[in-house]
Amino acid sequence: MNKLHRPLLGALMAMVALPAVLGATASVAQAASFTPLTLQNGWTNAPYSTSNAAVTNVSGIVRFKGANSGGSSAQAFTLPVAFLPRTEVYVPVDLCNAANGRLMIDPSGVVTVQAENAFSDAQCFTSLDGASFARSPDSLVPLALQNGWTNTPWFNTADAAVGVVSGIVDLKCATGTSGTNAQAFTLPVGIRPATEVYVPVDLCNAANGRLKIDPSGVVTVQAEKAFSDAQCFTSLDGASFAQ
Q: Are residues 121 and 158 in the same domain?
A: no
In the chain, alpha helices (H): 6-31, 119-124, 227-232
Structural domain for 48, as ranges: 35-133
Residue 105 in this model has a pLDDT that exceeds 60: yes
Handedness of CA 173, 176, 179, 182 (dihedral sign): positive
- The percentage of the chain sitting over the pLDDT mark of 90, rounded to a whole number, equals 81
Beta-carbon count within 10 A of 234 CB? 29
Residue 9 lies in a domain: no
Is the residue at 92 inside a domain?
yes
State what percent of residues in the chain have pLDDT above 70.
86
Instruction: Give this prediction's pTM.
Output: 0.85
Asked whether residue 238 is domain-assigned, the answer is yes
Total count of domains within the chain: 2
Confidence of residue 154 (pLDDT cuts 50, 70, 90): confident
Same domain, 211 and 159: yes
Which of 108, 133, 158 finishes a domain?
133
What pLDDT band is residue 31 in, cutting at 50, 70 and 90? Answer: low
Clarify whether residues 203 and 176 are in a common domain.
yes
d(CA 36, CA 55): 7
